[in-house]
Amino acid sequence: MTNSPRPTVAPGVLGEILASAPARLQRKLDKNPEAAEDWKWQHKDGEVVVDTGSETVTLKANEIRTVDNVTCTCLLSPRCFHVVATLSLLEIADAGEESEAAVEPEVIADDEENRLTDKQARAAKEMFNVLGTILAGGLRAAGASQQSRLLRAVHECRSHGLHRLAASGLRVLQHIRQLRIDAHATDEVASEFDSDVAVTDLGDALEVAWRLCQLEENAALPAPIVGTARRRYTPFTSMKLHGLFSEPILTNSGYAGAVTYLISEDGWMASVSDVQPGDASRLRQAWKSGVDVAGMSISNRELSRSALLISQATRSADGRIGGGQSARAVAVKTEGWSCAAIQKRFNEPLTAQIERCFSLQTLPFEQRPAGSDFVFVTAEMMGYMGHRLIGRDVNSDSVLQFSIPIDHDEVPFRENFSLLARAPGQVWQCIGRVQLSQPGEISLLALAPHLIEGQEHVFSLPDSMSFHVDLGFDELSRSHFTKAERSPVQFPVQAATNTVSDDVLFRWLRAIAIGGRHAVPSGKVNAMVRDARHLARQLRPTASALLTNLAETAVSTSTDLRGLRFPANSESLAQHWLAAEFAYRSSKRHLAQKMWA
């Protein structure tokens, strides 16, 4: 069952079962959130059967939408520990995901449905309160009880059409679950929890909830704040897509596969993926095995080096191809990267591409188009510096650092980079993922030799790599180079001076997000005050004032009649934390944008 897909569970169902479980079972789950991983999972007759050793849990559907979809042989079912532990390991069902074979585009809601209702206002307020309570205690301390409240809030938001807020709340829940799993892990495995991303996602969820709470009843709802329940598709009669490259996908959460990107004549970018549970050994299998595109089966490898003619299909803004059984596709001879649609991207100034990437990153994650962080640059490779290739943009003369996207023995990025560093002076057309927070750094994904008149050409593509090199899959060798140095050309490693680093404001934001109010005990208040003064000396008065206000709110106490030290209402802390996080996020993006320019 290790690599077989497990069912998903609707947030409302998981929230209901967690909330109905006795407190002793919630505490037991908090002590061992991965208890069900040690049980035996099996597929039997379309169902998933989990043998706990003494009892048997049965999951009767691919998506657990009602309590009736799960049973246990023990007498306490479904309020038993076996059911609670089993469901806690399942992925939360995302209503925004739908089949890529959708026949019709989503119908856009009318004006009446885009007005804030009383139920939506209450759902947004509840989400803000739940997130504020979690922030006060910290993500690390959010046990089964708070997770059930968050799940119910997500369910209410989704039920009343607040799709972006529901998705944001789910991301916060995933961070909580991963953080608590890592805290109880005994083996040395790569942690999936990313504290920086967790802070960003918590800030996004609080911001969306707060903006909705500020609207009056029946006020117009901005579309970016609401989000969409289903992916919107636009029908088209015919379209030609040119293959760009294939990228390996390998996650710490146990997924592996390949994604292939294509581009149309009008610049729309599409993605076709084969990513499933598995480890690095699955990467090449996914690259060479067939994927379905508009009724045609073709491997990711062939797809990246082909052109497709597609008719009677649909497309979405985020790069999905649909159309159902009416869609037809056929592979035709391609010009490779020399076609006009791709060369148009390479001819665009890098500064303009960076500006577009920054503007698209302000969109909600679900609304970003495929390839929103890709840049197309013609660069002369100069050599190695540390584990990065140093290149020069031939159009702007800017020096760039090309980093390795995945540093793993099963992925040939490292070896390919080493060979490229042995051919200084060769000019390449490169496609990579821009690292916006690291000015000058691009994760290099694919390239092709660029012939300049009068310049010696030292690389020849073999037939197996027609048109371009997928650096995460294709393996370069010395025989591909007509001229190369004996070893990679090395530049001395220098301290990074163009990095947008975290400052003291973000460190306190992260500490409170993970540890809650208790991350700022009385003994540390003076440290926060000193840091606030330091920000003021750096000519950052706004950041200084925000950190001071956050410190005062975090340590503010008012013991009630029950002896509780901190007030039950954590709204003030949530508002001050959100204000500081929003200011930090905005200033960091502005600084990075200036440094890239």
- Pairwise CA distance, residues 82 & 27, whole Å: 14
From the list 76, 70, 67, the residue with the least C-alpha distance to 15 is 67
Mean pLDDT within 320-336: 86
Output the CA torsion sign for 426, 427, 431, 436. Answer: positive
State the average pLDDT over residues 252-264.
Answer: 89
- For 143, 284, 303, the CA distances from 306, given in Å and listed in that order, are 50, 19, 5
E strands, 14-113, in order: 40-44, 47-51, 56-59, 63-64, 70-72, 91-92
Looking from the CA of 57 toward its CB, the CA atoms found within 13 Å total 26
DSSP 375: E
- Residue closest to 588 by CA, chosen among 434, 438, 441: 438
Average pLDDT value for the chain: 85
Among the residue ranges 138-142, 205-209, 456-460, the one predicted with the least confidence is 456-460
**Short-list 418, 419, 427, 349, CA closest to 381:** 427
One-letter identity of residue 3: N
C-alpha span between 356 and 215 (Å, rounded): 30
Residues with Cβ < 8 Å from 224, sequence gap 6 or more? 164, 363, 364, 367
Which residues lie closer than 8 Å to 37 by C-beta, 6 or more apart? 89
Would you mind telling me the total number of residues written for the chain in this entry? 597
Q: How many CB atoms lie within 10 A of CB 217?
A: 10
- Mean pLDDT (whole number) for 513-519: 88
Say which residues have a Cβ less than 8 Å from residue 486's Cβ, sequence separation at least 6: 422
The pLDDT of residue 495 is above 80: no
Task: Write down the H helix ranges in 477-570.
Answer: 504-515, 525-537, 541-555
Statement: residue 144 has pLDDT above 80: yes
As a whole number of angstroms, the distance between CA 49 and CA 489 comes to 57
Instruction: Tell me the sheet residues that pair with 264.
Output: 241
CB neighbour class for 422 (10 Å; exposed up to 12, middle 13-18, buried from 19): buried
pLDDT score of 19 more than 90: no
Q: How many CB atoms lie within 10 A of CB 447?
A: 27
Please determine, for residue 190, whether its predicted confidence score (pLDDT) is greater than 60. no
* Exposed / middle / buried, residue 300 (Cβ in 10 Å: 0-12, 13-18, 19+): buried
- φ, ψ at 400 (rounded to 5°): -120, 155
Average pLDDT of span 257-280: 92
3-class SS of residue 4: coil
Whether the per-residue pLDDT at 191 is higher than 80: the answer is: no
pLDDT at 109 over 60: no
Q: How far, in Å, CA of 566 to CA of 146, rounded?
A: 17
Contact criterion met (CB below 8 Å) for 218 and 120? no
- For residue range 75-105, list pLDDT tens digits in order: 888 889 999 999 988 888 765 443 333 334 4
Position 489: which residue type?
A: V
Give the pLDDT of residue 456: 66
Instruction: Answer for the pair 381, 419: CB distance below 8 angstroms, yes or no.
Output: no
Per the DSSP assignment, residues forming a β-bridge with 45 are none
pLDDT at 247 exceeding the cut of 90: yes
| Beta-carbon count within 10 A of 123 CB | 25
Q: Which fold has domain 348-480?
A: OB fold (Dihydrolipoamide Acetyltransferase, E2P) (2.40.50)
Each residue of 352-408: pLDDT tens digit? 999 999 999 888 877 889 999 999 999 999 998 888 899 999 988 889 999 999 999
From 224, 237, 588, 594, select the one nearest 437 (Cα to Cα).
588
From residue 395, alpha-carbon distances to 160, 230, 267, 391 in Å are 51, 41, 21, 12
Furthest-apart CA atoms within the chain: distance in Å: 85
* pLDDT for residue 111 is more than 60: no
Give the pLDDT band of residue 32 (cuts 50, 70, 90): confident
Instruction: Give the position of tokens 């993922």.
Output: 433
pLDDT digits (tens, 9 = 90+) for 535-594: 999 888 999 999 999 988 887 766 656 655 555 568 889 999 999 999 999 998 898 888
Of 29, 28, 30, 54, give the one whose Cα is nearest residue 40.
54
pLDDT value, residue 1: 43
Which one has a higher pLDDT value, 482 or 419? 419
- Please tell me which residue, 99 or 486, carries the higher pLDDT value: 486
Confidence at residue 562, expressed as pLDDT on a 0 to 100 scale? 61
What value, to the nearest 5°, has the Cα angle with vertex 355 and ends 352 and 357? 110
Q: What is the pLDDT of residue 522?
A: 66
Contact status, residue 152 vs residue 16, Cβ threshold 8 Å? yes
**Cα 597 from Cα 594, distance rounded (Å):** 5
| Structure confidence at residue 340 as a pLDDT band (50, 70, 90) | very high
Please report, for the chain, the start and end positions of each structural domain, with discontinuous segments joined by +: 8-92, 111-226, 233-335, 348-480, 504-596
Give first-to-last CA distance, the chain, whole Å.
Answer: 50
pLDDT attached to residue 98: 39
- Tell me the residue ranges of DSSP E strands in 435-541: 441-449, 469-470
The CA distance from 40 to 2, in Å, is 10
A 10 A CB-CB count for 589 gives: 16
**Whole-structure pTM over 0.85, yes or no?**
no
What is the model's pLDDT at position 453?
Answer: 65
Structure tokens at 67: 């309590």
The number of angstroms, rounded, from the C-alpha of 63 to the middle of its chain's C-alpha atoms is: 22
Residue 136 and residue 566 in contact, taking contact as beta carbons nearer than 8 Å? yes
Per-residue DSSP letters for 220-276? BPPHHHH--SS--EEEEEEEEEEEEEEEEEE-TTSEEEEEEEEEETTS-EEEEEEEE
How far is residue 585 from each of residues 360, 505, 506, 518, 589, measured CA to CA in Å?
A: 15, 11, 9, 24, 6
